[in-house]
Amino acid sequence: MQINFNGKFFRRLIGIIILLALVIVVGPALFKVQSANAIVNAHVVYVNSPLEGVVTEVFKSVGSTVERGDSLIVVNNPRISERLLEELKALRQTVMERINGLTRQQTSLQSMQSDLQVRIELHNSHETTRLEHQIAEARAQALAQQGTVNELKLTLEKNRKLLAQKFISELEFDRSRFGLEVGEAQLQAIEAKIRTLESEQTALAAGVYLGQGRNDVPYTQQKFEDITVQLINIQAEISEANARLMALEDQIAAERSNLQKLREATLAAPVSGMLWRLYFPVGSDVVLGSRLSALVDCNDLFVEAAVPDSNLAGLSEGSKVNYRLVGSSEWAVAEVFKIVGSGNKVRDETLAAELDTDSRDGRVFVRIAKDTLPDIQANQCYVGRAAEVTFDRTFNPKVLLTRLTGLFQ
């Protein structure tokens, strides 16, 4: 059978095919808006150096998976000054020597005080024994004198009777009377002495020494009390020095910790994700605040799409759109979480990849689910991969009328 390429049927078939092609090609563009350009993007977290020094160790390579808290980089500063730490150590040594000196002085005074205590006890014992002996002797004298007084009384009474009978003269009687008065006076003197000695004995029991030419306490007791006061003052100084020493120990510990932080810093991953960039290799000199590495948070992936400003009117936060990776046939539905107009050209340094946009293109940010992308770590979280975003076109007759009217003005 011969096909007639000039036949009416063939021409109609060709026309239908062209019409279908136009519908397939042009139709979606009439009802759908497709992004001019789109990429998979993610936020990046930078790790900066907390000190100046040299990078001495790098634990992870670019593209490696990291968990929050994993060690990344070690920075060492061998030129840190330890002058303040040495001054604190010298001051601590001075305080320790002072404590040792006060302790030796305290021990010496305590030993001296112990000796004085023994001497005080011996002195008190001797004085107690002496008073006991003197009191006993005085009481014996009083007893003897009492006997003499009694005898003198008998003699006086006898002489009184003899005088009455004129056997003795009045002179002899007066002598016996005077003798009794002297004997009684001597007895009173002895009794007064006993009372004085008993008063001294009572005072001695209370720690007070009475007597002619004596102080209230002996020299040894005074010395003992002076040493007690000195020991109290020394103990106060030792307590003060110990408190100062404890404060210095805390200062030294804090300074050592501070020096350790200034001398060496091990920088850990602030988030779980992937090591995206390393800015300094091992051996590099860095200054305070230098950007050492960047990490991508693979749990927060999104598609950044360039869309002409004229098509942004149909979108808002929460709008549903379709997206896919370039080269993939599987479309997925996601939600818009941010829209930026074409006038906002400020570079966002927290983004891992940079989207190329036209001067009239705005940017649409679409949140995507991590589980829709296979082998995220093996594909470096897909950051920078090209994508496509489509959404339904919104027709507004007033806008079309305004555009047509503008053509004739």
Distance CA 299, CA 64 (A): 15
345 and 370 inside one domain: yes
61 and 110 inside one domain: no
237 and 108 inside one domain: yes
Establish if 25 belongs to a structural domain: no
64 and 125 inside one domain: no
Whether residue 205 contacts residue 56, with contact meaning beta carbons closer than 8 Å, is answered with no
The token pair that represents 333 in the structure block:
């539905």
- Kindly report the number of other CB atoms within 10 A of residue 26's CB atom: 9
Give, for all 409 residues of the chain, the pLDDT tens digit.
455 555 566 666 777 777 666 555 544 445 577 777 888 888 888 999 888 889 989 988 888 888 888 998 998 887 777 788 888 899 999 999 999 999 999 999 889 888 888 887 787 788 788 878 888 888 888 888 888 888 888 888 888 888 788 778 888 888 888 888 888 888 888 888 888 878 877 877 776 665 554 555 567 777 888 888 999 999 999 999 999 999 999 999 998 888 777 788 888 998 888 888 898 888 888 888 888 998 888 888 888 888 888 777 778 888 888 888 888 888 888 888 888 887 777 777 888 888 888 778 888 899 887 777 777 777 778 888 888 888 877 655 554 445 445 444 4
148 and 275 inside one domain: no
380 and 322 inside one domain: yes
Would you state the pLDDT for residue 103? 93
Whether residue 294 contacts residue 42, with contact meaning beta carbons closer than 8 Å, is answered with no
Q: For residue 357, what are the contacts with CB-CB under 8 A and spacing of at least 6? A: 36, 37, 306, 342, 363
Containing 367, the helix (H) or strand (E) segment is strand 361-367
Establish if 79 belongs to a structural domain: no
For residue 70, give the 3-state DSSP assignment: coil
397 and 302 inside one domain: yes
Would you state the pLDDT for residue 9? 64
Strands (DSSP E) contained in 211-360 are 264-268, 273-278, 285-286, 291-308, 320-325, 332-340
Distance CA 226, CA 217 (A): 13
Q: How many domains does the chain have?
A: 2
- Kindly report the number of other CB atoms within 10 A of residue 273's CB atom: 25
188 and 138 inside one domain: yes
Would you state the pLDDT for residue 10? 63
Would you state the pLDDT for residue 205? 75
Would you state the pLDDT for residue 399? 45
99 and 50 inside one domain: no
Paired with 34 in beta bridges are: 390
Would you state the pLDDT for residue 409? 47
123 and 235 inside one domain: yes
Q: At which residue do the structure tokens 């003798």 appear?
A: 179
Kindly list the distances between the CA atom of residue 32 and the CA atoms of 29, 113, 259, in Å, as whole numbers in the listed order.
5, 106, 63
What's the DSSP call for residue 110? H
Would you state the pLDDT for residue 7? 57
Establish if 220 belongs to a structural domain: yes
228 and 90 inside one domain: yes
Q: Indicate the pTM of the whole model.
A: 0.52
Last residue of a domain, one of 191, 222, 242: 242
Would you state the pLDDT for residue 91? 93
**CATH code, domain with 66:** 2.40.30.170
How many residues comprise the chain? 409
214 and 145 inside one domain: yes
The token pair that represents 169 in the structure block:
């003269």
Would you state the pLDDT for residue 247? 93
Would you state the pLDDT for residue 241? 92
| Domain ranges, residue 131 | 85-242
